[in-house]
Amino acid sequence: MADNPENIEIKPGDFAPLDKQAGPDKEKIAAPSLTFGQDVWRRLKSNKTAFTSFIVLVLLFLMAFGGQALYHHDPNAQSPKYANLPPKIPGVNIHGLNGHINQSGKDVDAYAQAGASSKVHYVLGTDYLGRDLFARIMYGTRISLEIALIATLIDLTIGVGFGILSGWKGGRVDLFMQRIIEILSSVPSLVVMVLMATAFQKTGMASIIAALALINWTTMARLTRAQTLQLKNQDFILAARTLGESAPKIAWKHLLPNLSSVIIIQTMFTIPNAIFFEAFLSYIGIGISSPQASLGTLISDGQKNFQFLPYQMWYPAIVLIILMLAFNLLGDGMRDAFDPKSKR
Partner 1 sequence: MRKYLLKRIFYLFLTLFIVATVTFFLMKLMPGTPLQNEAKLTASEKASILAQYGLDKPVWLQYFIYIGGIFKGSLGLSFQFSDQAVSYLIGSRMGPSMQLGGQALLVGVVLGIILGAIGAIRKDTWADRVATILSILGIAVPSFVLAILLQYYLGLKLGLFPVAGWSGFSYTILPTLALAASPLAETARFIRTDMVDVLSSDYIELAKAKGLSKFGIVYHHALRNSLIPMVTLIGPLAAALMTGSMVVENIFSVPGIGEQFVKSILVNDYPTIMGVTIFYSALLCLLLLLTDIIYGIIDPRIRLSGNGD
Determine, following the binding rule CB under 8 A, whether residue 61 of this chain makes contact with partner 1.
no
Between CA 307 and CA 166 the distance in angstroms is 53
Determine, following the binding rule CB under 8 A, whether residue 251 of this chain makes contact with partner 1.
no
Is the Cβ–Cβ distance between 210 and 196 less than 8 Å?
Answer: yes
Between CA 296 and CA 275 the distance in angstroms is 9
Q: Which is nearer to partner 1, 116 or 299 (CB)?
A: 299
Determine, following the binding rule CB under 8 A, whether residue 34 of this chain makes contact with partner 1.
no
Select the residue interacting with partner 1 from 186, 233, 243, 341 (CB under 8 A): 186
Identity of residue 241: R
Is the Cβ–Cβ distance between 116 and 100 less than 8 Å?
Answer: no
The site for partner 1, by CB under 8 A, has a size of 38
In angstroms, what is the minimal distance from the CB of 294 to partner 1? 13
> CA angle at residue 281 from 279 to 286, to 5 degrees?
135
Between CA 248 and CA 241 the distance in angstroms is 11
Between CA 268 and CA 143 the distance in angstroms is 18
Helix locations, 3-80, DSSP H: 36-46, 48-70
Determine, following the binding rule CB under 8 A, whether residue 289 of this chain makes contact with partner 1.
no
Between CA 241 and CA 239 the distance in angstroms is 5
Select the residue interacting with partner 1 from 178, 258, 261, 305 (CB under 8 A): 178
In angstroms, what is the minimal distance from the CB of 43 to partner 1? 17
Is the Cβ–Cβ distance between 114 and 160 less than 8 Å?
Answer: no
Between CA 37 and CA 102 the distance in angstroms is 54
Select the residue interacting with partner 1 from 66, 285, 291, 340 (CB under 8 A): 285
The stretch among 9-17, 69-77, 185-193, 256-264 that binds partner 1 (CB under 8 A) is: 185-193
Q: What DSSP designation does 23 have? A: S
In angstroms, what is the minimal distance from the CB of 324 to partner 1? 4
Select the residue interacting with partner 1 from 80, 90, 188, 340 (CB under 8 A): 188
Determine, following the binding rule CB under 8 A, whether residue 258 of this chain makes contact with partner 1.
no
Select the residue interacting with partner 1 from 40, 251, 293, 317 (CB under 8 A): 317
Determine, following the binding rule CB under 8 A, whether residue 306 of this chain makes contact with partner 1.
yes
The stretch among 40-48, 107-115, 186-194, 249-257 that binds partner 1 (CB under 8 A) is: 186-194
Determine, following the binding rule CB under 8 A, whether residue 165 of this chain makes contact with partner 1.
no
Decide: residue 339, CB within 10 A, 0-12 exposed, 13-18 middle, 19+ buried: middle
Determine, following the binding rule CB under 8 A, whether residue 66 of this chain makes contact with partner 1.
no
The stretch among 20-28, 30-38, 82-90, 276-284 that binds partner 1 (CB under 8 A) is: 276-284
Phi and psi at 103, nearest 5°, equal: -115, 110
Q: Which is nearer to partner 1, 86 or 302 (CB)?
A: 302
Helix (H, G, I), strand (E, B) or coil at 106: strand
Determine, following the binding rule CB under 8 A, whether residue 173 of this chain makes contact with partner 1.
no
The stretch among 24-32, 89-97, 254-262, 315-323 that binds partner 1 (CB under 8 A) is: 315-323
Side-chain half-sphere CA neighbours of 134 within 13 A: 18
Select the residue interacting with partner 1 from 46, 198, 230, 234 (CB under 8 A): 198
Burial code of 92-101, b = ≥16 C-beta within 10 A, e = fewer? Answer: eeeebbbbbb
Determine, following the binding rule CB under 8 A, whether residue 203 of this chain makes contact with partner 1.
no
Determine, following the binding rule CB under 8 A, whether residue 55 of this chain makes contact with partner 1.
no
Positions touching partner 1 (CB under 8 A) are 175, 178-179, 182-183, 186-191, 194-195, 198-199, 272, 276, 279-280, 283-286, 299, 303, 306-307, 310, 313, 317, 320-321, 324-325, 328-329, 343-344
